[in-house]
Structure 1
Amino acid sequence: MIGKKFFDELSAKLGDTIDNSPVKDVEKNVKAMLGSAFNRMDLVTREEFDIQQQVLLKTREKLAELEARLAELEGGSGLQQVETQTQQSEQG
């Protein structure tokens, strides 16, 4: 029992010493600097990224539907003309 009490007291004293030491201050300063750097980088959370990814996926699906509908309405030949014009403008 005396050994357990001794180790508990030693552990508590070591914890207090570390909490009051410059190491704890350095840790706080490093965390503050990293937080500041991350804020300046305009990072987004994983949740925000996933939401934007879903929005992009839905937009791509809608674009594919609209392209297919346009091709259907133009009878296929009009779309080929648009693609040819696009390729020529990219080359020239």
Structure 2
Amino acid sequence: MLAPKAFLDALSGHASRLFNGETPVPRSEFETQFKALLQSGFSKLDLVSREEFDSQMAVLARTRARLEALEAKMAELEEKASGTEKAE
């Protein structure tokens, strides 16, 4: 995984070569090459889509709610168990 600074430096270098090359690059070709460069760089940064992020946040929220419910149930059962032990 590239550090953000290294990624930006590499991106800057590639863009500079495209702009300042020996022969001018047509705009459409530049856009194609630049898009490929960005996709390559982003794939090295281990990014996730917003959709995947939101999906994982929903899973986390459900898991957290379930954990809190189980903790409450456990506390209730422990309280009942300690009450039963005292009664005996």
Calculate the TM-score normalised by the size of structure 2.
0.57
Asked which structure has the greater RCO (Cα within 8 Å, sep 6+), the reply is 2
| Paired position in structure 1 for 2:56 | 52
Instruction: Give the drift of 1:58.
Output: 0.5
Q: Counterpart amino acid of 2:37?
A: M
Deviations 1:52-76 (A, max 9, x none): 1110000000000011011111119
Match of residue 25, structure 1, among 14, 25, 29: 29
Whole-Å Cα distance in 2 between the matches of residues 27 and 72 of structure 1?
62
Q: Percent identity?
A: 49
> Is 1:41 paired with 2:45?
yes
Structure 2 gap segments, 5+ residues each: 1-24, 83-88
Calculate the TM-score normalised by the size of structure 1.
0.55
What do you get for the CA RMSD once the two structures are aligned?
Answer: 1.9
Q: Counterpart amino acid of 1:43?
A: L
Structure 1 gap segments, 5+ residues each: 1-20, 79-92
Q: Report which of the two has the higher share of helix.
A: 1
Q: Counterpart amino acid of 1:57?
A: A
